[in-house]
Structure 1
Amino acid sequence: MALQHRAYQPLFPTGNKYLQQKWDKASYDLHKQKVKSATPTISKTPPKSYGHLAVKLKKLKLEEERKMKIKRENNMLMEKISHIMRTTGGVDNKNSYDVKSLGKKKRQLELLRITNENQMILFRLSQCRPHYNVRSWHEDWLKTLRVMDSIARYPRGQEKPSKKSNDAATHSLVTNNSNNKPESAENESS
């Protein structure tokens, strides 16, 4: 071991290799100790937990109130069911409230007045005699039918002739009328 300092090669030139090795070893041991005792610059520990965030008292209070309300409603239902079981079990759904209206009397009087007026109008209409004579209308219609028959080309009871015979009849009527005009003009002049 005594000769180890001879095998040691310092980094920088030195006067005594033995002393340089001892100093380097001491600084290296110090460095190792510092590395072991070094603390991290970034914290790896979990964040600090606060009790009021973990417990959530408001939520617990609301939940407890909800459970109390449910329990109270269940008790009321149980009382109603036990009352129904003890008694006949009839349902009390009678409403003793009388409906009151401020304008009811006025509306009834108005309806009565309108009904009376309508009855009077109906009575007057039933007593009124008609101004029109249906028999004279019928006679006028029959007269109109006779006039229509007299001026019609074809009488009402018969069917119209076919198109070919219709064209021939029209042609013969036109020629007869053209022949009759001069004669009628001569008869009128004489």
Structure 2
Amino acid sequence: MLKPNPQQLKTLGQREEALAAGLEAAEIYRQLAQERPDTHRPDLASNLHNLSLFLRELGRVEEALAKATEAVGIYRQLPDEHRPDLADSLHSLSVILENLRRLEDALAPAIEAVQIYRQLAQEQPDAHRPDLADSLHNLSIDLGNLRRQEEALAAALEALEIRQELAQAWPDGYQDDVAESVRFLSWLQRDT
């Protein structure tokens, strides 16, 4: 009999079972990655990244930090085809650090995520401009929290510009993002 995967359990509201399944999967991928690293390290990194998101959602932020840090470490060792995954994991790591109020520590992964997404967006704009906008928005929050208003404003304005362009092409998909950027910009500008 097939077991449901962690995402199916999570969707069904069985959070503890989903977490247990995700942790079990991580250990299986860890063993497989030792046996065949080229084949299974990407799977392990992906599983750890997903676990970090789920643990953060459950309020287990310190545990999420450990999984996110490990995922980033693995993605750094993988070929360039995994750059989008590295950028996504760096973005998540930054958010987790921000949740822990480690604001200075959150900045470096946020900056690196923006740098990677900027390169990817130049190569494949349709695929990566939304991620670039999200990472710029996250960076602007980190910079704002550190009272680096001018830098925060520049990142927020760039995120807004990209989101407005996306919303022109796909209104149903990006209007909420535009509203989020405008709301954050108003918050930033009230402090300047």
TM-score by length of 1: 0.15
Q: Which structure has more helix as a fraction of its residues?
A: 2
Mark the structure with the bigger radius of gyration.
1
Higher relative contact order (CA 8 A, sep 6+): 2
